[in-house]
Amino acid sequence: MFSLKNKISLVTGGGSGIGKAISQLFARQGAVVCIFDLDEAGAQSTIDELGENGEAEFVRCNVSIETEVRQAIERVVSKHGRIDILVNNAAIAHVGTVETTTEEDLDRLYSVNVKGVYLVTRFCIPHMKDKGGSILNLASVASTIGIPDRFAYSMTKGAVVGMTLSLAKDYLRYNIRCNCISPARVHTPFVDGFIAKNYPGKEEEMFRKLSATQPIGRMGRPDEIAYLALYLCSDEASFITGCDYPIDGGFTRLNN
């Protein structure tokens, strides 16, 4: 079960955190994983840690620049002949309300979190239409729950959910499925860096406070998100499309 043998998979932001966990799990399950990232060292670490337990390769790409995305996907298709699975994982965050979020902040988040998903998907879709495929977008609980000081981030993740539904509807006739995952807080190097940047001197306190917001009492692990991603991109999930899956330790339903 859950074999991805010989499936050509593209994972954006696969050099760290959730993207790294997804890339490595997919490769171990037999997929050929193409990691789209700007961090070559991080992507190479993802690949090196696999050893002989999977096949992955680095493709340098800024997902917010159309020419780079088009050329990167053309390289993948030229080498492998097709794309079976796309995971739109690359994203950036921002702390701020509508008043403290500048136009530059908004444009920066939009360019990666929304435009990046649009561009990569736009150029992948034509290579899925003949034989079908699976698209998985990484959204967030912030798309459906009000979270303080996350105005721009929540907006972009809400857009990801909307794009997921539109893609699922438009490409159902081509046997292309599209779903999304909405994690709560997941402990990644990104989270550690985020806390250090925004709460200097209070790192341990803030980590405990953020962990406690999940009713389950801790943050998620990247591998836990990757297991759900594996299911949704596998043939075992062939009856599932147009869905947003919270994976949040009870955050959206059990917080009172």
Tell me the catalytic residues: 153
Q: What is the dihedral of CA 69, 70, 71, 74, to 10 degrees?
A: 120
DSSP helix, strand, coil percent of the chain (3-state; round to 5): 50, 15, 35
Give burial (CB, 10 Å; 0-12/13-18/19+) of 19.
buried
CA–CA gap between residue 225 and residue 223 (Å, rounded): 5
Could you tell me the CA-to-CA distances from 16 to 73, 150, 167, 185, 196 in Å, in that order? 21, 22, 26, 15, 17
Residue 183, H or E segment: strand 176-183
